[in-house]
Structure 1
Amino acid sequence: MTRIVLVTAAVLVDADRRILLAQRPAGRSLAGLWEFPGGKIEAGESPETALIRELDEELGITVREPCLAPLTFASHAYPNFHLLMPVYICRRWEGTPVAREHAALAWVPRKRLGEYPMPPADLPLIPVIQDQV
């Protein structure tokens, strides 16, 4: 039986309608690829609570739950697990994102998202995000 891994992610959109991508660091799986910030949902957490925690840990920003709007989800079969990821759009937060756990951050115009190499689970999200942002 395939193990399901629940993660959550944010499409952070700035005032210029650019989207924040985070580059996975060396030494981790899928190192060097770009992704939407977020992370694993821990036992007892809602996806929103997990995302708020992850954005604070990874980027040093404060997000309030009413600022997270459900956008879409990803469902992808990796060789050792199946990833299920609700994705939220967020246009308001406190603080300036910094790469605490990533190799780099990039603010990307929505039409250029496809130019960044991403994990397979993130690729189907690009057209949805481009249509919605």
Structure 2
Amino acid sequence: MTSIDTWSPWVALIATGGPILLAIVNVIYSLYLRSRHLDAIKEALKHSRYVYLWGPSLGRRGLIWSLLEIVKFTGMVTLPKTHIRLGDLDPTDAENFPSRLKRLLQIKAVMMIGGGVWLGVVFALLQSR
């Protein structure tokens, strides 16, 4: 394998700066989901224990909490069996969750996982030089 020092500067910049750019896009996408779709997500998960306990304050506790809530909802929708077992998600809510909202949250999950994998690859490349 060749060292990253021998790469073109543009390729090295894109390879190392890509995860940072993807993280910024991910935060912007989370803010979009929070501002446009949080009420619909809460309505679709209205029987779930998490929404029942935190429902009135969801989206009203500040920017960082709102981003964390979107990540929580993403995990609840993309990994329903785990959250049903934990008791946060109602099985009927998981089955009846709207497909368009599920697709939006799956995009969020792919961005999070993709950014983490990309960052891991860049870290491995930088450690191997």
Scaled to the shorter chain, the TM-score interval is: under 0.3
What TM-score results when the alignment is normalised by the length of structure 1? 0.24
Richer in strand (by share): 1
Higher RCO (C-alpha 8 Å, min separation 6): 2
From the two aligned structures, give the one with the greater helix fraction: 2
Q: How does the TM-score come out when normalised to structure 2?
A: 0.24
Bigger radius of gyration among the two: 2
